[in-house]
Chain A
Amino acid sequence: MQRGIDSFFKRLPSNNKKSDEDASPAPKKRKARVISSDEDEIAESPQVNKTGKDHKKLRRALDDTPSPNKAPTKKPSLSKLKNAVPTKRALQKVDPSALFGGETKRIEAQKPPRPKDKSIIELEDEEIDQSLMEVDLDESVKAAESHQQPPAIEISKSLSPPPPIKRAKRATPSPEPPKAKAAGRTPKSEKPKTPKARARASNGHADLDTSVLSDEERHERKRMTAVLYQKYKNRASCLNPGCKEIPKGTPDCLKGYTFLVTGILESMERGEAESVIKEYGGRVMTVVGKKLNYLVVGEEAGPKKLAQADEFNVTVLSEDGLFDLIRERSGLTNGSKNGEKSIKKEKEESSNKLKVKQEKSESMKSPRDKKDKQKEHSPPKAELKVKKEKRDSSKSPRVPDIKEKHSDTHISPKKELKVEPKKDPQRLPSNNATNAQTTADKLAATAWVDKYKPASTKEIVGQAGAASNVNKLLNWLTKWYVNHDGKKKLQRPNPWAKNDDGSFYKAALLSGPPGIGKTTTATLVCKELGFDTVEFNASDTRSKKLLKEEVSSLLSNKSLYGFVNGRSQAVSKKHVLLMDEVDGMAGNEDRGGMQELIALIKDSSVPIICMCNDRNHPKIRSLVNYCYDLRFQRPRLEQIKGRIMMICCREQVKMSPAKVEEIIAATNNDIRQSINHIALLSAGEKLDLMSKSQPTDDKIAQKDIKLGPWDVVRKVFSAEDHKHMSLYDKCDLFFHDYSMAPLFVQQNYLQVTPQGPRKDILSKVAATAEALSLGDLVDRCIRGSSAWSLLPTQAVFSSLLPGEYMCGHFTGQINFPGWLGKNSRSNKRSRLAQELHDHTRIRTSGSRQSMRLDYAPYLLSNIVRPMATYGQEGVAAALDVMKDYHLLREDLDSLIELTTWPGKKSPMDAVDGRVKAALTRSYNKEVLAYSYSVQTNIKKKRAEAVADEEGMLDMEGVDEDGGTVGAVDSDDEDNDDLELDGLIKAKKKPPASTSKASTSKASTSKKPSAAASKPKAKAKK
């Protein structure tokens, strides 16, 4: 669909030679974008005349008043339109053509009323259409263009440095231009979705050229605008941002000229282009008119504008043409290749049409042609480039060759005559020669990864969309100081909210796999917004202390960076704290770093950007809650491919697209590693090793990732994977995690449906089970006697054999091994049993096992039964049993847990809640703390901390009072004193218990029992 529109724009160089590949992902993507397009526009619309457009639209709707569609048309918002569609349909019974989306229907619905008032509104209509078109064009500049085809761009660049100016009118079209255009163009056959659409398209074009419109034509045009409208919603941003260098012209070199930018330019956003023009004194118009001098055309330019440009004899420029113009006017270039490749408009309609035809036929050429062409063209260019390097005043090392391209093209005498250098070219050589030299040196020494590092956010692969992470981050950062000036109280957003702009958060967390540009994004965004960054990465120690000291002081500093570098006079106060690789905070050195970071975030006065790979990592999890979550996805293969091909082209590495794809796939869509590989392979290129090493290459490129147990177990059983795995490979699977793998296999082997007849399944399962059991024996042998030489044997039994027997495919879900949970539960239960055993040791004989098997059920029923039958009255009896056995209140719970069978009700359920509470209360009141109940009473102790002194004083009296048992008593006293000293220091426990004892003594009549239990407790000690 996107490409389908191209057929309207006959004159446009489209750089997408791979539209067939694009076509498939396009629809899906489009949908997503359509939904979000509304906000996007609002968020970052560079358009000047957006409101105007709305206005005009409204007017147009008013013109069409008789129709009942007024309401829907009024609103430019897509979503609203969508809502409106059904009603319209009901009214109009429009054939729901599948060709265009819901938006199209809207226009179709408008059709019927149109003819009626056609004559009246004809004139206005023209105008309206025009404005509509403008709207299309305006918006067309942005939106994501994801399929970059730098090689193609390279061609068009190399082929078309179009020197502009009215000369174009004079010049007869050389035979080359159409070819060039074709080279950069999508084959037409792929563009329209259906033949019908194509027919329509050509119709539409005819419309524009002829002034007499029939009804049908008008409808067609309507439809076309609809298509365009829909298209601009999906409009890509510039194809290859920053791929060309904007020439440095003299100020005012464009003075007196008026420009209009339309379509998607190759290297600049439209707004950018306009600002460039303005910078050089040019005037930017929004409507094609008589005064317009130049129409700067990008891809997918509005047909209306083109047509009008025709009418008004406006010179049409490509982006390169614009640059050339700047150079020319400012006398920078001594000429660049002329007419050849520029996109020109002829006065004569006839020649125009002819050309169109030519183009059409040319554009049918297969992409292969283009590629060939590319190959033909690039090498000589490259050679020239080297020679001419010195001439270039290439400021940014990234894009040295664009300029070169222009300068190395031969000088046309015609041009020489025409152009009068306004500036002396002397300033070029001296200064720039050295400059270029150093940059060249630098370039030679930088790794490709750095060399081709994006220099602006627009160049980041896969981040061009309006809803991309780059834009989100940009937004977030721009608004940060506004949002966090302390005046606003921000609401924590709903975690499921779709379009949260993160204003609540003080920090952002960029997460995603390595090599896709997280750090680049962060640094570039900061750079573009003029923030100074303070970076901490995994190579810095980031312990709690250090973070506290260094970072917090750093953040309150002012940066002199701008001042020192002479960029700005002002001392910047805008910092960003970049915490790179937060998942790398590990080990002793970084202890407490994460907590400190969170604390920093909480009361930070600057934005913090954190980066990590795996946001589900336990280390990161706590951080996630405080951060604006931006997840980076791996870019798609095509996106990376474009960039890689560009690099290949620049580096003059010949590499087949298939090969590039292979490498990218092998690196798992990791841009950085792909570049690294290309760099490595490039050396082979020069040796002409390529053919020889072909088979080994894919292996070289492959990235090794340690498989998780889930993947391992899937591979173990999957028949497909087995096909190309040797015995060794299968055994290696086991070693990915040899402690977990056997468990996973054991847990999941029954989920597999093995190949082969059904009746064999049982025997296969049996064989597997046997192997697993043997594997367990081996495992025990390994762990028991640390006979690690048996590990390969275990691999055979626990992984290889089951895999072989049950080879098939998974039908169920892969589960986490239940054994681990069961194991820990059994550990817990045995611990509980041991505790019970310990606590009741004085009253019971027998082992832990007998405690669990013989005592526990009866003990529990003795405690629970009285409460269940007598309610409140039974509490005392229950308590007596507990006291007899020296049980803690908690022991009751463990008793219940131990004795309750799965699926059965706990006996405690029969007891009323109030009774339980009463038991707890009276237990706390009556039963003294045992030596082993220390921890449980700490809390209470704290509550009585104030009363400590009194308690201690009391105690002595109490002990004496209660000391009816002479000998024991004196013993007690000693003990108490000792206990006091020891325990006050240690746990501060006994005062509490003793004071409690004293209170209980005073208040209740249970004195004897309390006294009795106390010595017992001590005795136990």
Chain B
Amino acid sequence: MPEECEITNDELKKRSNLPWIEKYRPIKFEEIVGNADTVARLSIFATQGNAPNIIIAGPPGVGKTTTIQCLARILLGDSYKEAVLELNASNERGIDVVRNKIKMFAQQKVTLPKGRHKIVILDEADSMTDGAQQALRRTMEIYSNTTRFALACNTSEKIIEPIQSRCAMLRFTKLSDAQILAKLIEVCQLEKLTYDEEGLEAIVFTAQGDMRQALNNLQATAQGFGSINNENVFKVCDEPHPMLIQDMLQHCAANDIHKAYKILAKLWRLGYAPEDIIGNIFRVCKRLTIDEQLKLNFIKEIGITHMKIVEGTNSLLQLTSLLARLCTATEEH
């Protein structure tokens, strides 16, 4: 969802010493990338007011907090400062804070235009204790005339049911690669970076649908090496390249240990830690497109090796034996 960024140069300068992730944090709904439906819906509430309590759930880096802040900013405008209470996991949010600070805030009188309410933003709400969440329950209801709640969390299961019941649940999904890529290009242009397609793709790949990670990696690469290309990116966000590992596993699935070993040897020579390698193998294997049964066997073997490596026998031999066993598994299959 590429949009024009109307940030002027002045503003850029003002924000130049911010990390990019803050610098390019969307301020308007239109700038938010991904989850278009949900955001559009919220934008309506932003204009007409009277939004219900909401919970936004989704993986990190997809714009949950940003969305809520946008909503609050548009709803409250200038009175943002007085009328928004923002608490995240870095704040203490024990049961007494809920009972005192949040309740007091909810009771406060702030003059707002009609249809607007004070907003309590609870970021990372899933890290709140059950007790604190319990204490929140009735507060959410009693003061709903004046105060609305917006919660953001990664896993909605950790929000107790009564709270969920009081909120409308919005689910954010991971951003697609295209969405991230578009945003990256936009940022690159604004920052006047030299970049090539491959470099950006590499960043997108490592980000795995996490916009924040992508921007951070981009900034790290840009500031470290100047230009964004494949090599530089992998120098920054160093992990055994998933594509290599995928190839390796495919070779194993084709019962070709030689080719598989070549890749492994290459990874080893690059100096990756065996734990990283095996961790990535595990992850890649789970989404590998091979026969389900074979995949299970693979995962099993990988698990055994993983355990051994964690226990301390983290030699190349272990990894090689894994390849051998994978090939055997293929053969038996």
Near B by CB (< 8 A), chain A positions 694-722 give 696, 699-706
A580: CB under 8 A from chain B?
yes
**Residue B286 is within 8 A (CB to CB) of chain A in the complex:** yes
**What's the minimum C-beta distance from B301 to chain A, rounded to whole angstroms?**
11
Cβ contact within 8 Å between A586 and B50:
no
Quick check: A446 and B157 within 8 Å, CB to CB? Answer: no
Q: Does B44 contact A (CB under 8 A)?
A: yes
A592 lies within 8 A of chain B by Cβ: no
CB distance from B107 to the nearest CB of A (A): 11
Min distance, Cβ A667 to any Cβ of chain B, angstroms: 8
* Interface locus among A231-239, A463-471, A599-607, A793-801: A793-801
Stretch of B21-29, B34-42, B209-217 contacting A (4+ beta carbons < 8 Å): B34-42
B114 interface residue, CB < 8 Å from A?
A: yes
Instruction: Name the distance in Å between B307's Cβ and chain A's nearest Cβ.
Output: 5
In B256-306, the 8 Å CB interface with A consists of 275, 279, 282, 286-287, 295-296, 299-300, 302-304, 306
CB atoms of B307 and A790 under 8 A apart: yes
Q: Chain A: which residue is nearest B306 at the CB level? A: A793
- The reply to whether A778 and B130 contact each other, CB–CB distance below 8 Å, is no
Do A447 and B50 have beta carbons less than 8 Å apart?
A: yes
Q: How far is it, in angstroms, between the C-alpha of A441 and the C-alpha of B295 when the chains are bound?
A: 61
Whether A801 pairs with B296 at a CB distance below 8 angstroms is: yes
User: Within the complex, which residue of A584, A686, A789 is in contact with B137, where a contact is CB–CB below 8 Å?
Assistant: A584
Residues of B within 8 A of A800 (CB): 296, 299
A513 within 8 A of B: yes
Complex-state Cα separation, A202 to B40, whole angstroms: 57
Min Cβ gap A923→B in Å is 49
A675: nearest residue on chain B (CB-CB)?
A: B52
Determine the main DSSP class of A at the interface with B.
helix
Q: Is A81 an interface residue (CB 8 A)?
A: no
Q: List 14 A-B contacts (CB under 8 A).
A: A441-B114, A537-B142, A539-B103, A581-B162, A589-B96, A589-B99, A673-B169, A704-B57, A704-B155, A704-B157, A704-B169, A736-B157, A781-B311, A787-B310
- A581 & B137 in contact (Cβ 8 Å cutoff): yes
Minimum CB–CB distance from B245 to chain A (whole Å) comes to: 16
By beta carbon, the residue of chain B nearest A537 is: B138
Chain B proximity of A698: nearest CB distance (Å)? 11
| Chain B positions 102-123 with a Cβ under 8 Å from a chain A Cβ | 103, 114-117
How far, in angstroms, from A589 to B40 measured CA to CA in the complex?
Answer: 42
Which B-chain residue is minimally distant from A790 (CB atoms)? B310
- A946 adjacent to chain B (CB < 8 Å): no
How far is A815 from B312 in the complex, measured between Cα atoms in Å?
37
Counting chain B CB atoms within 10 Å of each CB, the highest count among A446, A448, A777, A796 belongs to A796
A23-47 vs B, CB cutoff 8 Å, 1 = contact: the mask equals: 0000000000000000000000000
Q: How long is the Cα–Cα vector from A587 to B131 in the complex, in angstroms?
A: 7
Contact of A539 among B53, B98, B158, B304 (CB under 8 A): B98
B145 & A589 in contact (Cβ 8 Å cutoff) = no
Question: With A and B bound together, what is the CA distance between A440 and B119 in angstroms?
Answer: 22
Is A616 in the interface zone, CB < 8 Å from B? no
Residues in A neighbouring B307, C-beta threshold 8 A? 774, 777-778, 781, 790, 793
The answer to whether A689 and B136 touch across the interface, beta carbons within 8 angstroms, is: no
With a cutoff of 8 Å between Cβ atoms, the chain B residues found around residue A538 in the complex are: 134-138
Residue among A587, A689, A787 with max Cβ neighbours from chain B (10 Å): A587
Q: Is A676 an interface residue (CB 8 A)?
A: yes
- In the assembled complex, the CB of B168 is this many whole angstroms from the nearest CB of chain A, namely 4
Q: Which residue of A lies closest to B106 (CB)?
A: A539
A702 & B115 in contact (Cβ 8 Å cutoff): no
B156 interfacial contact with A, CB 8 Å: yes
Spot the interface stretch: A62-70, A677-685, A937-945.
A677-685
B197 at the A interface (CB under 8 A): no
- Judge whether B171 is part of the interface by a CB distance below 8 angstroms: yes
Dominant secondary structure at the B interface: helix
With A704-B156, A781-B310 in contact, is A446–B161 under 8 Å at CB? no
Within A183-231, the residues touching B (CB, 8 Å) are none
Chain A: minimal CB distance from B84 (Å): 17
Which residue on chain A has the smallest CB distance to residue B37?
A: A693
Q: Is B164 an interface residue (CB 8 A)?
A: yes
B144 part of interface (Cβ distance < 8 Å)? yes
How many chain A residues touch B (CB < 8 A): the figure is 70
Interface membership of chain B positions 120-157, coded 1 if the CB is closer than 8 angstroms to chain A and 0 otherwise: 00000000011100111111011011001000000111
Closest B residue to A777 by CB, please name it: B307
Question: Per-position contact with A for B11-51: 1 when CB-CB < 8 Å, else 0?
Answer: 00000000000000000000000000110111011001110
B-contact 0/1 string along A598-640, CB 8 Å cutoff: 0000000000000001000000000000000000000000000
Which of A445, A687, A700 has the most B CB atoms < 10 Å from its CB?
A: A445
- Judge if A727 is at the interface, Cβ distance under 8 Å: yes
A514 and B162 contact, CB distance less than 8 A:
yes
| A676→B52 contact, CB < 8 A | yes
Say whether B95 faces chain A, with CB atoms less than 8 Å apart: yes
Inter-chain contact A581/B134, CB cutoff 8 Å: yes
Interface check B187, CB cutoff 8 A:
no
| Known A444-B115, A679-B52; contact A771-B300, beta-carbon cutoff 8 A | yes
A684–B144 CA distance with the chains assembled, in angstroms: 22
Residues of chain B with a CB closer than 8 A to A446's CB: 50, 144-145
Q: Is B117 in contact with A445, judged by CB distance below 8 angstroms?
A: yes
Chain A residue with the shortest CB-CB distance to B98: A539
Q: Taking A797-B303, A801-B296 as contacts, is the C-beta distance between A447 and B144 under 8 angstroms?
A: yes
CA distance A800 to B298 in the complex (A): 13
Residues of A within 8 A of B157 (CB): 704-706, 736
Report which of A444, A539, A680, A705 forms a contact with B99, defined as CB distance below 8 A.
A539
How far, in whole Å, are A790 and B308 apart by their CA atoms in the complex?
10
Q: What's the Cα separation between A679 and B161 when bound, in Å?
A: 19
Contacts A586-B95, A587-B131, A728-B286 supplied; 12 other A-B pairs, CB < 8 Å:
A539-B136, A613-B162, A680-B168, A680-B170, A683-B41, A683-B44, A689-B40, A702-B169, A705-B157, A797-B303, A801-B296, A801-B300
The docked-state distance in angstroms from the alpha carbon of A700 to that of B156 is 11
- Interface residue? A804 (CB, 8 A): yes
Specify the chain A residue showing the minimal Cβ separation from B302.
A793
Tell me whether A785 is interfacial, beta carbon within 8 Å. Answer: yes
Q: Across the A-B interface, give the 5 residue pairs with the lowest CB-CB distance, nearest first.
A: A584-B134, A586-B131, A537-B138, A515-B165, A683-B44
Q: How far is it, in angstroms, between the C-alpha of A797 and the C-alpha of B116 when the chains are bound?
A: 52
Determine whether the beta carbon of A676 is less than 8 Å from that of B95: no
Q: How far is the CA of A1003 from the CA of B282 in the complex (A)?
A: 79
Nearest opposing residue in chain A for B153, CB measure: A704
Point out the residues of chain A lying under 8 angstroms from B155, CB to CB. Answer: 704
Chain B neighbourhood of A541, CB < 8 A:
96, 99
Asked if B54 CB lies within 8 Å of chain A CBs, one says yes
Asked if B44 and A687 make an inter-chain contact with CB atoms under 8 angstroms apart, the answer reads yes
Interface centre among B155, B156, B300 (most CB of A within 10 A): B300
- B167 CB within 8 Å of chain A: yes
Instruction: State whether the Cβ of B166 lies closer than 8 Å to any Cβ in chain A.
Output: yes
Which residue of chain A has its CB nearest to the CB of B148?
A447
**A690 to B: closest C-beta gap in Å:** 10
Is A583 located at the chain interface by the 8 A CB criterion? yes
User: Using a CB-CB cutoff of 8 Å, which residues 335-386 of chain A contact chain B?
Assistant: none
Let me know if A450 is at the binding interface, CB within 8 A. yes
Contacts of B302 in A (CB 8 A): 793
Is residue A319 within 8 Å, beta carbon to beta carbon, of the partner chain?
no
Note all chain B residues with C-beta closer than 8 A to A792.
282
User: Which B residues lie within 8 Å of A519 (CB)?
Assistant: 138, 141
| Shortest CB distance B126–A (Å) | 10
Question: Interface 1/0s, chain A 715-739, versus B by CB < 8 A?
Answer: 0000000000001100100001000
Known: A586-B95, A589-B99, A689-B37. A580 touches B138 (CB 8 A): yes
Q: A839 — which chain B residues lie within 8 A by C-beta? A: none
Task: Give the residues in chain B near A705, CB-CB below 8 Å.
Answer: 157, 161
Also in contact, A686 and B44, with CB within 8 A (given A539-B99, A673-B166, A701-B169): yes
Cβ of A58 within 8 Å of any chain B Cβ, yes or no, is no
Determine if A57 is an interface residue (Cβ-Cβ < 8 Å): no
Interface status of A488 (Cβ within 8 A of chain B):
no
A310 within 8 A of B: no
Chain A nearest CB, measured from B182 CB (Å) = 20
